Amino acid sequence: MARPRSFDPDHVLHAAERQFRTSGYNGTSVDDISAATGLGRGSLYAAFDGKHGVLLQAMTGYFARLAQGPRKMLAGPDEGALERLHAYLLRAVHGVPLAPDVPPAPDRTAAACFAAKMALEIGASDPEVKRLANDCFSVVRTAVAECVRAAQRNGDIDPDADPDDLAYLLLTIIRGTDVVGAYGHSPDRLTSIAETAFALLPRPRHP
């Protein structure tokens, strides 16, 4: 009879995600994952089918968390939608939080969006990674677009503006903030980017 697992798969995947965020996929070895998670090479292959399997399962778990975060931050009554967009842009200054059961990211690079980092590194050559990354981007874009629509209904954003176009714009700024932050720019600079993006949102034209 097979022995029950003696480890928490979610905790292992969260630790592996942190390692991939820090070192990238190509810069992370199976031994690195083993050291980060406390699992031996044999256990990693048996449970996750090696490094690529760990990555795909870690990205799937990340997507599940990401699907909840933006929706919770951006959903709500029409009144206050503009303020929620503002808060969401400012939150991007600090990156995407790691799972609560692993230590904080050591620097801004490791706090970058996991899906974006993997998409840029290997997404073009890995259809499964590309699909998971697109799913992650889609859930954020959808949540932002819905919040834009709520702000339009409340009279805070130009009703003639395309919510999906604005959502893509804000998503690009948020993910671009990861890149700028990864190259050592200060939180003040990143905050200025977020505030400028917010100020550029089209407001209603009054007669």
Per-residue pLDDT averaged across 29-41, rounded? 91
The whole-angstrom separation of Cα 60 and Cα 187 is: 29
Structure tokens belonging to residue 85: 């967009």
Tokens of 140: 């954020």
Task: Report yes or no: 73 and 63 within 8 Å, Cβ to Cβ.
Answer: no
For residue 5, pLDDT over 70 is answered with no
Confidence of residue 2 (pLDDT cuts 50, 70, 90): very low
The pLDDT tens digits of the residues spanning 157-191 come to 999 999 999 999 999 999 999 889 888 889 999 99
How does pLDDT run across 41-54, given as a tens digit for each residue?
888 888 888 899 99
Over 80: is that where the pLDDT of 6 sits?
no
Query: How many other C-beta atoms are found inside a 10 Å radius of the C-beta of residue 9?
Result: 13
d(CA 164, CA 59): 25
Residue in 72, 123, 97, 63 with CA at minimum distance from that of residue 178: 97
Structure tokens at 34: 């083993």
**How many Å apart are CA 140 and CA 110, to the nearest integer?**
19
Position 1 scores a pLDDT of: 37
Confidence check: pLDDT of 94 > 50: yes
CB 71 within 8 A of CB 143: yes
Identify the residue whose tokens are 């499964």: 128
Q: What gap in Å lies between CA 204 and CA 92, rounded to an integer? A: 26
